Amino acid sequence: MAEVITQGGAEPELKRVMGPWLLLLFIVGDILGSSVYALTGKVANEVGGAVWVPFVVSFLVALVTAMSYLELVTKYPNAAGAALYTHKAFGLQFFTFMVAFAVMCSGITSASTASRAFAANFAEAFDLDIGTGLVVTVIALAFMTVVALINLRGVSEGVKLNVVLTCIELTGLLIVIGIGCWALGAGDGDFSRVTEFDTGDRTAVGGVIAATTLAFYAMVGFEDSVNMAEECKEPTRIFPKVLLAGLTITAVIYVLVSITSVALVPVPQLGQGDTPLLQVVRVGWPAFPTHVFAYISMIAVANTALINMLMASRLLYGMAKQGVLPRALGRVHSGRRTPYIAILFTTLLALCLIAFVSAVPELGGTTALLLLAVFTVVNVAVLVLRRDRVAHEHFRTPTALPVIGALTCGFLVTPWTDRNPQQYTIAGVLLAIGVVLWGVNHLAIRYLHAEPAAAEPPAE
């Protein structure tokens, strides 16, 4: 792709195309993702019939942290999100790089996993032989290439496609709620289950905490939107209402899905397999063509990949503009107004993951673990940056909320939540890779940005 030099040699800016409705659908689509289609049963296994409780707790934790993000994105309406706020608050390049790396890992691993899931669903839908796994890999690589082309084409095309995918994704969940309400209204099911706790050897509180660490994965995604701040129209004005609306909409959907699910299907049956919502539909409306959900699930994971790749490229772009990453990653194509170097780089990483890394166990929990650690940092950064005044009006969260957010997110990172130890191992390996890459990045910046030596005066 040829780069067009702008007049005067100035670097072009990202294109502002996202108004409140596009931003709302971006947030809703990112939070919904594909996890809720498989997560309800797993949460029910931890807590019993009161499966809605961990979703409510997760919403409250996300809401408190979202208030911190709102103060920071309206105060600093730039790309890079948590990494930018960490850089401004603490000024430590290593710390900033590790936060950026953790967020980027969550995005690219999620997108790569979603691509493989898309490929598996695609192969199954069209009855392709996936015995060796090669077909899935090839389809996933092709799909990720298409995502990159959409991303390179422009943010307008990406977010408009997200609108279509989000609407289809949302329709699937509304079908589940509608079928559940119809069946329950006809006298099927048992509403008394929704207040029953079955936490095994744990106390009710312990069971809810363990289930919340699972359910929280369904609530992440709101933080990705702040990386799109430079492509939003009037971000300081629209972000507070839109982000809070997006979180509330998804929380209501999750609670309704979980209540109707457990009221129609007994918990032991709901907790079996990876398709609990299909069981709800089969019980509530046996004649419904359940294969429709295979296509909806395929679309949901496609949307997850698209949104995460949009986010990851903007994160690298923003960090390059701050001088934390090589400046080349901050280059913007003057014709398409997209950060094309960052897009190509993140796409290359995703393609490598798809090609050489198969399904990693506990990846979803590890993603939530890394993001909870990042959220802890963001909640602290809000308080540190109160001393930094800006000229424009911005959202301000009550001081108590970042304190509560930091303590809550910090606690959910600890082993006291009965989190699977494998998640800490995977997170540790990823962060160790990040430390190595920081060293390479540090040397690259010193080499690429070194000032040329002054020329010696000519001999007389």
Residue 105's pLDDT is: 84
How far, in Å, are 74, 100, 311 from residue 79 at the CA level?
12, 12, 9
Residue 8's pLDDT is: 45
- Pick from 83-97, 321-335, 443-457 the range whose average pLDDT is largest: 83-97
Given a cut of 70, is residue 380 above it in pLDDT? yes
Residue 356's pLDDT is: 74
Average pLDDT value for residue range 386-392? 93
Average pLDDT value for residue range 263-285? 84
Alpha helices in 322-448 (DSSP H): 340-356, 363-384, 400-413, 421-448
Picking from 329, 363, 345, 298, the residue whose alpha carbon sits closest to that of residue 110 is 363
Given a cut of 80, is residue 187 above it in pLDDT? yes
Please provide residue 220's backbone torsions phi and psi, each rounded to the nearest 5 degrees: -70, 155
Percentage of the chain exceeding pLDDT 70: 91
pLDDT tens-digit readout, 14-48: 888 899 999 999 999 888 876 677 678 888 989 99
Average pLDDT value for residue range 444-454? 62
Given a cut of 60, is residue 433 above it in pLDDT? yes
Residue 323: CB atoms within 10 Å: 13
Alpha helices in 91-153 (DSSP H): 93-125, 134-153
Pairwise CA distance, residues 278 & 299, whole Å:
16
Q: How confident is the model at residue 293 (pLDDT cuts 50, 70, 90)?
A: confident
Average pLDDT value for residue range 169-182? 89
Residue 363's pLDDT is: 66
Given a cut of 80, is residue 4 above it in pLDDT? no
H or E segment and range at residue 55: helix 52-75
Confidence (pTM): 0.85
Identify which has the larger pLDDT, 259 or 365.
Answer: 259
Identify which has the larger pLDDT, 403 or 419.
Answer: 403
Cα 101 to the center of its chain, rounded Å: 14
- Show the tokens assigned to 261: 């699910």
Pairwise CA distance, residues 72 & 381, whole Å:
9
Average pLDDT value for residue range 64-82? 93
Residue 3's pLDDT is: 38
Average pLDDT value for residue range 368-397? 94
Q: How confident is the model at residue 216 (pLDDT cuts 50, 70, 90)?
A: confident
Least confident of 22-36, 84-98, 247-261, 269-283: 269-283
Q: How confident is the model at residue 406 (pLDDT cuts 50, 70, 90)?
A: very high
Residue in the structure block whose two tokens are 């959202």: 395
pLDDT tens-digit readout, 127-162: 777 666 788 888 989 999 999 999 998 888 888 898
pLDDT tens-digit readout, 220-259: 889 889 988 899 999 999 999 999 999 999 999 999 999 9
Pairwise CA distance, residues 84 & 103, whole Å:
12
Given a cut of 90, is residue 429 above it in pLDDT? no
Please provide residue 139's backbone torsions phi and psi, each rounded to the nearest 5 degrees: -65, -40
pLDDT tens-digit readout, 327-337: 888 899 888 88
Q: Would you tell me the crossing angle of helices 363-384 and 52-75 to the nearest 10 degrees? A: 40
Average pLDDT value for residue range 212-224? 87
- Show the tokens assigned to 420: 């699977």
Pairwise CA distance, residues 125 & 123, whole Å:
6
Given a cut of 90, is residue 126 above it in pLDDT? no
Q: What are the chain's domains?
A: 13-448 (1.20.1740.10)
